[in-house]
Structure formats: structure tokens, C-alpha cells
């Protein structure tokens, strides 16, 4: 039972399935550093074409400047999350044989990686749903969807590439919306609806955003210092350079590590227990 003025808290023990939905770079062939393109900008210090290894990628598939990415002008790398797609493509789809060992498979591997990332992201959100006690009425749907997608991620490359990802995403989104509504319904009072809103640079300091719908909201450089975001739906919200110092994000729905990495928090920012506090927080 949720008391007046409070918001739902996450379960005490997050799902054990989450480990497979986090990047394990030690078991990946550096796919995000090879398969994906990037353009010289404030997020990347140089241009790189898709399928071309980043010049910082070492022979052991590790980044040579990993500890200095932000200082070296590669901030974009620090906010990327493959949701475990890298190791799954490397170790499951291609059986642990790298693009260096078998160059003929490289192109297919690079094509599979972004598809796998989308599927892994959906698995992450469905796992979130199964960890929401108040979303129990849709747990059956979420579990069936997760089982189907997990089966697909373990198929061969051709089957993965043939998958209708937009259709899969649409079906999953229906479940996510239902779960979000069930969780946010427990927050007392009228909830703010900023779905898809342009809140770039908005002044939301100390705002009461408990149970708010912020799906896909543009919150770039917004001031959310001290804001209460418990049980707010943040799926797809753009938090780049958003100020969340002292904000309360415990129990925020569908919040990812990449979103936290992109934002500006501090030691006083309350975050979900299954996410990590970014090392660069507090820097200027």
C-alpha cells in the first residue's frame, strides 16, 4: 500500500536476468567500436565509417583510451549501451569466432549487431516490467514476449536479420504502456503528461514529477536539480546534459545506464539500485 505523498519503490531484489542485459566488453569483439559509424562532433573527436575499426581499438578488442574517453573527445562512447548485444553476437551468434579470425563473416556480424541491440533493449524493458509488482496483471504478456525475443536472439544470423523488429517493438510497447500506467496509477494526485515534449533547457528545479509521463521527452540541458522523478516513465527520454543533482530517480520507470551517463548528477542524486553512479558525475 502506497502512503499519501509517496511513490512506488522498486522491488528489493532486481531480476537475476539483468546481468545478461549489461555490456560485457571482455566477451565482445569490440563491435560497437567497429560496426557503428560516428561523425566528428562534440561527442566524437574524429569521423569513422561503419565497418571500420576505431583507431583506439586494440588487438585484444579493448579500447586503448577507455579511462580517458571523455578527456580525449569521445563522450559519445561513454553514453552508449549495447544492452549485452555485443557479447551475445560475439559468443552466441558467431560462436566466439571474431571478425579478425574470419573476415568473411565480418559484414554479417556488423549487420546483426544493431538488430541484436534493439532486441536486447526490448528484453531489458520487459525485465523491468517483471520487476514491477503493481504491473502483475501484464506479467504474463511480458513473460511471453520476453521468451519469444530471447529465442530469436539465439537464432542464426539470417533469422535475426529477417526479423520484423518494428512489429516486435510495437507489440512490446503495448505491454510497456500497460505496465507504466499500472505503476504510475499508484502515485496520488494528477500526474504530469510530458510525453514527447520539447523540454530542452526547461527549468524544472525541485519539480514534483512523481508518476509523470516523460516518454520520449527532450530534456537536453534541462534543470532537474532536486526534482522528484520517482515512478516517472523515462523510456526514450533524452537526458543529455540534464542537471539531476540531488534528484530522486528511485523507482523511475525504464531508466537506463546510458541515460544516467548522459546526464549531470552528483553524490546526492538518488538512483535505482541496479544502475551504477557514473564516474564523471560532479565534474564540470
Task: Dump pLDDT digits (tens) for 117-134.
Answer: 999 999 999 999 999 999
Residue-level length of the chain: 284
Fold of 190-284: Pectate Lyase C-like (2.160.20)
Give the span between the Cα atoms of 162 and 177, in whole angstroms.
Answer: 26
Give the span between the Cα atoms of 198 and 47, in whole angstroms.
Answer: 29
Handedness of CA 187, 229, 194, 165 (dihedral sign): negative
Q: Residue 7: is its pLDDT beyond 80? A: no
What pLDDT is attached to residue 75?
Answer: 87
What pLDDT is attached to residue 95?
Answer: 97
What pLDDT is attached to residue 67?
Answer: 86
Question: What's 56-101 look like in SS3?
Answer: CECCCCCECCHHHCCCCCCHHHHCCCCCCHHHHHHHHHCCCCCCCC
Record the cell numbers describing residue 233, joined without a space.
516513465
Question: What's the chain look like in SS3?
Answer: CCCCCCCCCCCCCCCHHHHHHCCCHHHCCCHHHCCCCECCCCCCCCCECCCCCCCCECCCCCECCHHHCCCCCCHHHHCCCCCCHHHHHHHHHCCCCCCCCCHHHHHHHHHHHHHHHHHHHHHHHHHHHHCCHHHHHHHHHHHHHHHHHHHHHCCCHHHHHHCCHHHHHHHHHHHHHHHHHHHHCCCCCCCCECCCCECCCCECCCCECCCCECCCCECCCCECCCCECCCCECCCCECCCCECCCCECCCCECCCHHHHHHCECCCCCECCCCCCCCCCCCCC
Give the span between the Cα atoms of 122 and 131, in whole angstroms.
Answer: 14
Task: Dump pLDDT digits (tens) for 232-248.
Answer: 999 999 999 999 999 99
Task: Dump pLDDT digits (tens) for 45-103.
Answer: 999 999 999 999 999 999 998 889 888 899 889 889 999 999 999 999 999 999 999 99
**Burial class of residue 1 (count of CB atoms within 10 Å of its CB; 0-12, 13-18, 19+):** exposed
Task: Dump pLDDT digits (tens) for 147-162.
Answer: 999 999 999 999 999 9
Q: What residue spans define the domains of the chain?
A: 18-184, 190-284
- Assign 257 a pLDDT band (cuts: 50, 70, 90): very high
Task: Dump pLDDT digits (tens) for 178-208.
Answer: 999 999 999 999 899 999 999 999 999 999 9
Give the span between the Cα atoms of 186 and 210, in whole angstroms.
Answer: 10
What pLDDT is attached to residue 283?
Answer: 60
Q: Residue 17: is its pLDDT beyond 80? A: no
Task: Dump pLDDT digits (tens) for 246-256.
Answer: 999 999 999 99
What pLDDT is attached to residue 49?
Answer: 94
What pLDDT is attached to residue 211?
Answer: 97
Query: Per DSSP, what are the bridge partners of residue 91?
Result: none
186, 3 Cβ separation under 8 angstroms: no
* Greatest Cα pair distance in the chain: 61
What pLDDT is attached to residue 1?
Answer: 32
What pLDDT is attached to residue 118?
Answer: 98
Q: How far is CA 82 from CA 44, 143, 158, 257, in A?
A: 18, 22, 20, 10
The whole-number average pLDDT for the span 109-114 is: 97
Amino acid at each position: 500500500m502506497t502512503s499519501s505523498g509517496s511513490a512506488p519503490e522498486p522491488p528489493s531484489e532486481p531480476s537475476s536476468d539483468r546481468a545478461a542485459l549489461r555490456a560485457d566488453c571482455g566477451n565482445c569483439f569490440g563491435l560497437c567500436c567497429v560496426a557503428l559509424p560516428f561523425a566528428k562532433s562534440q561527442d566524437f573527436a574524429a569521423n569513422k565509417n561503419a565497418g571500420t575499426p576505431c583507431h583506439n581499438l586494440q588487438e585484444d578488442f579493448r579500447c586503448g583510451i577507455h579511462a580517458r574517453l571523455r578527456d580525449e573527445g569521445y563522450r559519445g562512447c561513454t553514453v552508449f549501451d549495447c544492452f549485452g548485444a555485443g557479447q551475445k553476437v560475439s559468443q552466441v551468434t558467431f560462436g566466439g569466432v571474431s571478425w579478425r579470425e574470419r573476415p568473411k563473416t565480418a559484414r554479417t556480424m556488423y549487420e546483426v549487431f544493431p538488430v541484436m541491440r534493439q532486441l536486447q533493449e526490448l528484453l531489458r524493458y520487459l525485465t523491468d516490467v517483471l520487476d514491477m509488482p503493481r504491473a502483475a496483471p501484464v506479467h504474463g504478456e511480458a513473460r511471453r514476449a520476453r521468451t519469444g525475443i530471447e529465442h530469436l536472439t539465439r537464432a542464426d544470423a539470417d533469422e535475426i536479420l529477417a526479423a520484423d523488429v518494428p512489429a516486435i517493438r510495437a507489440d512490446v510497447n503495448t505491454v510497456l504502456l500497460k505496465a507504466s500506467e499500472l505503476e504510475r496509477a499508484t502515485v496520488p494526485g494528477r500526474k504530469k503528461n510530458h510525453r514527447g515534449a520539447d523540454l530542452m533547457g526547461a527549468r524544472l528545479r525541485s519539480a514534483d514529477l512523481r508518476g509523470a509521463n516523460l516518454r520520449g521527452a527532450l530534456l537536453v540541458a534541462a534543470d532537474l536539480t532536486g526534482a522528484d522523478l520517482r515512478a516517472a516513465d523515462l523510456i526514450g527520454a533524452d537526458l543529455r546534459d540534464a542537471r539531476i543533482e540531488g534528484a530522486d530517480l528511485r523507482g523511475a520507470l525504464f531508466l537506463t545506464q546510458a541515460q544516467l551517463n548522459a546526464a549531470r548528477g552528483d553524490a546526492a542524486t538518488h538512483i535505482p539500485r541496479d544502475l551504477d553512479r557514473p564516474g564523471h558525475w560532479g565534474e564540470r
